[in-house]
Amino acid sequence: MTEQTSPLVMFYKQGWENYQQALVKTTALLSLEQLALPIAPHHWSIRMHLAHMLDARVSWFYGWMGEEDRDLARWHEVRSSDEPAEYEAAELVAMFEKTWQVISSALDRWTSADLEQLFSPPAYLQEEEPPHTRQWIVWHVMEHEIHHGGELCLALGTYGVESFYTW
C-alpha cells in the first residue's frame, strides 16, 4: 500500500499558493524607487525585506532539508557573501517563482511520515539551533512569510501601493 500525501501538506499548499501568487503579482509591479523605500524609518528597504523572505525559503528548504536546486544553491552562495545585491523586481519575482516550484514540488510528494522526519541544523548553526521536524520547518517558513508579508503590506500601504493580502 502506498502512503498518501499528508492532508496537512495539502492544507498548507492551497493557502500558501494563493499567498505566493499575490506576493509575486505585487512585487512585479514595484519600481526601483519603490524597492528602495524603507519598510519603516529604522528598517530595511522593501527590496531587502523581499530578499530576506527568499533567504528563509532557501535556508530552510535547501540548507536544512536538502531540497536540491541549482538556483537555490546559487542564491544561497550569493547571499552568503559579503557583497550586497541590488535586485530588481523581475529578479525577485523569478526567485519567488523558483522557490515556489521547489516548495510546491516538495509539498506534493511529502507524506505524513515525511513530515515527522527530523533535520539537524547545517554545520554553521549547530550550536544555535536544535533539530527540527519537517512539519515544524514548513510551518516556520509559512509563519515567517505571514509575519513579514504583514510588514510589507503595511509599508506598501503607507506609500500608497495597493496591498497584496489575499482576503
148 is in an annotated binding site: yes
Per-residue pLDDT tens digits for 123-152 = 888 788 999 999 999 999 999 999 999 999
Per-residue pLDDT tens digits for 78-103 = 887 777 678 999 999 999 999 999 99
Nearest to 92 by CA among 24, 22, 164: 24
42 is in an annotated binding site: no
What distances in angstroms separate CA 165 from CA 55, 68, 125, one per listed residue? Answer: 21, 30, 33
Rounded (to 5) percent helix, strand, coil in the chain:
65, 5, 30
Q: What is the pTM of this model?
A: 0.90
Amino acid at residue number 48:
M
Beta bridge partners of 132: 119
Question: Strand locations in 72-137, DSSP E?
Answer: 118-119, 132-133
- Chain centroid offset of residue 43 CA: 19
Delimit the domains of the chain by residue range. 9-158
Domain 9-158 in CATH 3.30.300.10: no
52 is in an annotated binding site: yes
Query: CA-CA distance, 40 to 155, in Å (whole number)?
Result: 7
